[in-house]
Homo-oligomer: A and B are copies of this chain.
Amino acid sequence: MALRHAVLAALLDEELSGYQLAKAFRTGVANFWHASPQQLYAELAKLEAEGLITGREVVQETRPTKRVFRVTEPGLALLEKFTAAETRPSVIRDDLLVKVQAADHVDTAHLIDRLAERAEFAETKIRLFESLLLGMRGERAEDEYLRRGERIGPYLTCLRGLEFERANLAWYERATRVLHERRTTRDHR
């Protein structure tokens, strides 16, 4: 039941449509939760039925009419309660880590390709996060923004996302180096 809280948290700062939410939640952008469009449309419908958010039609000339949502008082109260409640430990589930775990028993040539793909992906995300952070803090220095800026929640989660991807990239590069070295030394034996 945490998806609903993630949706509420995402709608705190701005009214968004299901489509816009989906864009924010798709892999690579949302730095605090991930969800598919189908999940989001379903969750929005449930949240609205329970009165935790309210929708409002926005007619556009060139684009289809959309419905944007904002959090209601009961919705904010629910989030408040959620934030105070116990936090469950986060879990790791990553295909690529499974593959590296098995590295000693399988051919590593393809694995090195997978690592390269991910490294490229990580680089893209790093650039994206850096520009998002810059957009939020503007001219201000980071510490100054965190002391006195408004909306530091999104800034902090984005910062975590950035550091996560930087660490990923460093690890991908190291793993690649190690696997490559071992391949060449083995081949020349």
A residues adjacent to B (C-beta < 8 A): 2, 5-6, 8-10, 12-13, 27-28, 30-34, 76, 79-80, 82-84, 86-107, 110-111, 114, 117-118, 121, 146-147, 150-154, 156-157, 159-161, 163-164, 167, 170-171, 174-175, 178, 181-182, 185
Contacts and interface: CB of A to CB of B under 8 A. Distances in A.
A177 to B, nearest CB: 9
Copies of the polypeptide in the assembly = 2
A40 to B, nearest CB: 14
Given A89-B27, A102-B12, A157 B33 contact: no
A80 B107 contact: yes
Contact of A152 (B83, B98, B104, B152): B104
B104 A83 contact: no
A101 B67 CA distance: 23
A167 B76 CA distance: 30
Contact of A90 (B30, B76, B93): B93
A30 B171 CA distance: 18
A82 to B, nearest CB: 7
20 contacts: A2-B95, A6-B101, A9-B99, A12-B104, A27-B91, A28-B89, A31-B97, A32-B94, A32-B98, A33-B97, A79-B105, A83-B107, A86-B114, A91-B93, A100-B157, A147-B178, A156-B178, A163-B171, A164-B164, A164-B167
Nearest to A5: B98
